[in-house]
Amino acid sequence: MSATAPFHNTVGLTGRQLVAAARVARGQEAAVLDVFRAAGRPLSPSEVHARMPGRVLLTSVRRAISNLTTAGALVKLDQTVPGPYSMPEHLWALPAGQGELFQGRAG
């Protein structure tokens, strides 16, 4: 999904734990893309977080968005919206033309 390592191993995981953490992170990236496709409009990290299935940390959503941006699957916009603590958050979107590919796609 992403050219960047899906899991940023800052805690020194090894072996099976590292493999499992990378698998979860890849799944989060896929889920973030699904949220953007379903929304059909630009979203902030907090908006994505609110739409994520299950329990996912906001920091994990932000990591996934960063990785997907690096991979070219999302683009960061100059526009901002107020975040949950009234601080501005940038919006991200699918690259031009890709949103139309998923309109009407069954979830």
CB 73 within 8 A of CB 95: yes
Q: Let me know if residue 9 belongs to a domain.
A: no
Per-residue pLDDT averaged across 89-100, rounded?
83
CA atoms of 12 and 14, how far apart (whole Å): 6
User: What is d(CA 13, CA 81) in angstroms, rounded to the nearest whole number?
Assistant: 36
- Maximum Cα interatomic distance, the chain, rounded to a whole number of Å: 42
Q: Is the pLDDT of residue 99 over 70?
A: no
Q: Is residue 5 part of a domain?
A: no
> Within a 10 A sphere around the Cβ of 68, how many other Cβ atoms?
22
For residue range 44-70, what is the model confidence (pLDDT) as tens digits? 999 999 999 888 999 999 999 999 999
- State the pLDDT at residue 2: 44
Domain CATH code at residue 56: 1.10.10.10
The total number of structural domains that make up the chain: 1
Q: pLDDT for 9-43, tens place per residue?
A: 677 777 888 888 788 888 899 999 999 999 999 99
